A and B are shown apart, each in its own frame.
Chain A
């Protein structure tokens, strides 16, 4: 899998800075697993952040901050109170076709069951631990089917897990990301042979029209 459509520079810079919304961050993390070129760019932005960190003016900590930290060095990490083995694995209800696996970035997330949202289109809600209303989910589109035309309240970012889709801006295959700005109304059409399975995240609510909008409303808010 080799991606040809990478995130915008600002998106990778915001990933490096840690200022993306959780849903968007998750989609970019999934893409980074599949795209060495994006990882290389991210490394540049992270090195930029590290370099700039050294130039920030220091803010004094409380007088005993170092001593208190030194005293904690030999204590067991607090996270060890919850050993990974005792944690229940999150629920992954949506079945994926043979050969398609969830990106590792989703390992701690819940993945809801598939919900029919239109002819040839199914949606599965993704839950991010600690985030109340993450606007992100899987969408599966049957071969040759179109996602209903939609606009969005904010930026939309889509990661292709398998198959491909095309819209006015190009063709997106496995590992690619497609970013759409709020003003864009687009109508992605799934590959005629393979269809597609994608992860879509929205900043702000997605606004589908008509039937799908009505169906999705309970799940996107």
Chain B
């Protein structure tokens, strides 16, 4: 990892959390791809997501070259699987993240070609009723934003590292200058607090 993609240390409080993008326009782009193979929509999605996916994948332990390949493979998968996209289950960013995550897992497993796409059988069954489901997704995303902003700055930072670092415990221990065991319990606490906040938002 280079210094350039290391998140700012919490010691220099420059809250780096830009207002997260509303997923509705991106949802529509994926649906346009599904409906009529809209290449412009694809290019717009690519320009927004591929560079962020590359950052995520590099922080997950892939080389820059592999990260770029998997980012492209993810976007290719978005094109091919667009008809499976269901905004009632997850918003665009979440759906694209899970595709990249699955390809990352495959890429990190030796002897396994990067190109092997996760089969649809991998997907967890859907038990949400479709009528209210769109609302449920939008609500879930709104709750996540509220919960993240309710965390202390240090906890928000720990949550980010937990999702986007290969070895979050070691990284947190180093950044905060605390023992590994303490870092582990802070991660546990931060994630439990996040989940409790999400539960409390009902």
Contacts and interface: CB of A to CB of B under 8 A. Distances in A.
A68 B72 CA distance: 9
Nearest to B195: A9
Contacts of A90: none
B94 A47 contact: yes
A77 interface: yes
Contact of A51 (B5, B68, B121, B141): B141
A57 interface: yes
Contacts, number: 181
Interface in B112-149: 112-113, 115-117, 119, 121, 124-125, 127, 140-141, 143-145, 147-148
A18 interface: yes
B191 interface: yes
B85 interface: no
A54 B52 CA distance: 7
B106 interface: yes
A134 to B, nearest CB: 10
Contact of B121 (A8, A59, A104): A104
Given A13-B162, A51-B145, A39 B124 contact: yes
Given A59-B54, A65-B50, A65-B68, A49 B76 contact: no
A13 B49 CA distance: 21
Nearest to A105: B122
Interface string A145-178: 0000000000000000000000000000000000
Interface in B15-35: 16-18, 20-21, 23
A211 interface: no
Contacts of B188: 8-10
Interface in B129-175: 140-141, 143-145, 147-148, 159-160, 162-164, 166, 168
A54 to B, nearest CB: 5
Contacts of B50: 61, 65-66, 69
Interface in B49-83: 49-56, 58, 60, 64, 67-68, 71-72, 75-76, 79-80
Given A66-B46, A70-B43, A130-B109, A52 B115 contact: no
Contacts of B104: 18
B163 A17 contact: yes
Contacts of A84: 119
A162 B125 CA distance: 20
A25 interface: yes
Given A54-B21, A77-B80, A79-B116, A69 B75 contact: yes
Interface of A: 8-10, 13-14, 16-19, 22, 25, 32-33, 36, 39, 41-62, 65-66, 68-70, 72-73, 77-79, 84, 104, 107, 129-132
Given A17-B164, A49-B101, 4 more contacts: A53-B96, A54-B52, A77-B115, A132-B110
30 contacts: A9-B192, A16-B163, A43-B140, A46-B94, A47-B90, A48-B147, A48-B159, A48-B194, A49-B94, A49-B101, A50-B92, A51-B20, A51-B144, A52-B148, A52-B160, A53-B56, A53-B93, A53-B96, A58-B51, A59-B64, A68-B72, A69-B72, A78-B113, A79-B117, A107-B121, A130-B106, A130-B109, A130-B110, A130-B112, A132-B111
